[in-house]
Structure formats: structure tokens, C-alpha cells
Copies of this chain bind each other. A is one copy, B any other.
Amino acid sequence: MTDKTVYEYKQSAKLFERALKVIPSGIYGHQGPAEGCFVPVTAFPFFSERAKGAYFWDVDGNRFIDYMCAYGPNVLGYNDDEVDEAAARQREKGDCITTPSRTMVDFAELLVDTVASANWAFFAKNGGDTTTLAIMTARAHTHRKKIVFFKGYYHGVAPWTQKIDYPGILPEDVANSLYVPWNDYEKLAETFAENKGEIAALISQPYWHGNFMDNILPADGFWRKVRKLCTDSGVMLIIDDVRTGFRLDLAGSDHYFGFEADLICFCKAIANGYNVSALCGKDFLKNTVSGLSYTGSYWLSAVPFAAGIASIKKMHRLDLPRLLNEKGEALARGLVETAKRRGFDLHVSGMPALFYLRLADDDVNGSPSLMLHQRWIAEMVKRGIYVTNHHNHFLNYALSEDDIKTTIEIADHAFAAL
């Protein structure tokens, strides 16, 4: 395979000019240049025209093998027929109606059957709706204020999740936040001891998947010890499975790592892109959740519930986490070998279904530089492999062996171009 002509983004650029006039930053979130992709923005397409399976096409007609999957929601492939048909059947009947549909009950029952630590489900719209509901539940149940976070966390954009020096955030928003390094059980136990009787919850992702850094799995026995510490201290253990959920284990990522959360937050992969999130939890917290003031305009909508049911049933049938793990391992193996052959040292971290990439050749005194990595990512994207330089990636079922083969071939060209 010869190297292909690199992509151009003329229509994306034109559209972005229009966007800048009527949307703050033009595009918000990770996808926008304001977030600081740390690659020349000219390497990335800004706007998509359509998507199917493992691909999307930008407004210039360029096709990408997409390893971001809409930052998680696309888990079965874009526009999966089975999910879309279930959603369309529900849409014929109705979506956002004054009273909820039977689909809501069906979906809650399916989640309770599927997720090991779930005795109930409460549906909302954003992942952040569920992390906020989880900390409110923990505070209402324990009558305590403090929340422990692992440094480098991401639990949404609500003010309590942000940092004291972020614009629009008050000291009061984060007055009860405690921060501990990931995998540091001693420091965690010390923090619990220093704040005895004051900690409402520990909130954590199932493993460390921060940005701009290699991802880090839990140390041996870490979660078992943390679970015991929380139980002994009367601290609610909240797992934020928004990013990892359904890709490691359909029964929950806590189940994958051998423990049970008190509260677990789902979004993204729960309904293959249909707009729903869910807080699940243990029976002893059900009455507390019932007593909170928490609702939203679209939270009873039936179409996302129908899509969620179809998605979870299909993921079950496929044993999807196993398949995604295999795809991720094959891809990582191929990329690392290709890098090595071209004389580069590519680090792959995190779980295979959500792999994180980093070229380590220009590390400075053991610290990542990321400069070379960013150049490589740019060469990949311009050749039709949508990867990112600062965030973990996501796999989906529609990604084929051929797609993985193509990706590795293009990686070879991208290394050659460096």
C-alpha cells in the first residue's frame, strides 16, 4: 500500500468561520480548537457530514476510521440497525410524553439484571447528572459533606467537579473536596483518618484514565482494600463508569475489578448514542434517592430507553467486552510492532477497549514531552485515522479486522512521515 494523499479540510474551515460568529469558541468541548488539541488544528476535520459503523465522513468528504466513537457513545457502530429499529418503533408510539412509558420500567429492570451492584436505576441525560445525583445521595445518606477524589479525575462539568482556579468556579463549590493520588492506598487511608466522620463519599473512575498521561490500572488488591476502608468508615463508594461502562464488563467495571460500588454512574455506551444516562445503586440508598429533588425536562423520554434496551441486549448476545478487548489487543500489538520497526517507542496503556497512546522517544528526563506524539497523531488523522493525542480512545463492534489492518498500514506511513 502506498501512502495516500493527505486530507484537506476546506469545507470544515469555511463552516468553522460561520460557527465562530454564532457559537462561543465555534465548537465547544474536546472537539474544538479552544480546548487545545495540542496538535496543529489544521490536521483535524471540524465537522462531520455522516457516519456509519466504524467510520465517519467529514464535510469535505474525507472518510475516517474513528477511534474516538463520539468520545464513547458509539459502541456497536454508528447507526446500528438493531438499535435504530428499536428506537424507531418506540418513536412511532411516542418519545417525550407527560407520563413515562413502560419502556422506562423495562430498561430499569434490564439494568438491575445486568449490573452486579444495581438494585435500582435512576435515569437522566448527562453523565454529570448522575455523578451529581450520586454525591447528593451520599451527602443526604451520611449527613456528611466531604468528597474524596483521585487526582486527575473527570466527573463532568458541574461546579463541584471543577477546580478552584477555573473560571466561574467559587471556593464554596469545592470547599469540601479532598484530593488523593491514584493507587495510593496509604494516603487514602490517612485522608480518611484525618477526616473521620466527615467524608460522605469517595468518587472514582474504575481505573485512572486522565488526559495527557499514560493511563494506570488499579494496583493489585487496591480496590479490595479501598472497598473495605469505605465500608469500615461509612463512606459511600461511587464508581464513575461513564467512560468505561459496558466496554470492560456488562456487569459494571467495579464487577470487572472484583468489588461492588454503592453507587455507579453510566452514560455514553449505555444506548449507542441515544441520549440517556443512569445512576444505579444499592437497596440501602433507594429511599434516600427518592427523597431528593431531582428531575429534568426530557428525563422520561421513551426512545433512548428503547435504544438502551436494544443496545444492552445486543452487547450481551455478542459478549461485546471480550470482542472489544481482542480488537484492542490486536491493534495495540500491530501499532507497537510498526513503531518499533520504524525505530519508535510507542506506549499503549489503559484497558485495550479504551487504549491510550504515547510516543515516548522524546521524553525529557523521564517526563513525557508529547511533541513528537502530537506530530504522529497529526500524520495519522490527515491520513484518515481519527485518533487523539491527549485522551484515551474507544473501540466499537463495527471496527473490522480490515480496519485494524488499514490502521496499522497508515501508522507505518505516519511514522515514515515523521
Contact = CB atoms under 8 A, between A and B. Distances in A.
Which of A95, A99, A120, A268 neighbours the largest number of chain B CB atoms within 10 Å of its CB? A99
A298 to B, nearest CB: 5
Interface in A139-184: 139-140, 145, 156-160, 162, 166-170, 172-173, 175-176
A51 B94 contact: yes
Contacts of A34: 290
Copies per assembly: 2
A58 interface: yes
B47 A100 contact: yes
A-B pairs with lowest CB-CB distance, top 5: A136-B168, A29-B295, A96-B273, A51-B94, A140-B168
Interface stretch (A123-131, A224-232, A318-326): A123-131
Given A22-B108, A105-B19, A167-B288, A299 B29 contact: yes
A417 interface: no
A2 interface: no
Which of A58, A127, A157 neighbours the largest number of chain B CB atoms within 10 Å of its CB? A157
Given A24-B286, A46-B100, 8 more contacts: A27-B100, A29-B296, A50-B92, A58-B99, A59-B102, A126-B296, A136-B159, A162-B293
A189 interface: no
Nearest to A281: B24
Interface residues of A, number: 112
B108 A23 contact: yes
A31 interface: yes
A301 interface: yes
A69 B139 CA distance: 34
Which of A31, A68, A71, A294 neighbours the largest number of chain B CB atoms within 10 Å of its CB? A294
Given A19-B104, A122-B23, A159-B132, A98 B386 contact: yes
A91 B109 CA distance: 28
A239 interface: no
Contact of A128 (B140, B175, B296): B296
A159 B160 contact: yes
A46 B99 contact: yes
Contacts of A127: 296-297
Interface stretch (A73-81, A343-351, A361-369, A405-413): A73-81
A374 B407 CA distance: 65
A273 B294 contact: no
Contact of A300 (B29, B50, B157, B298): B29
A93 B31 contact: no
B140 A31 contact: no
A121 interface: yes
A49 B102 contact: yes
A48 interface: yes
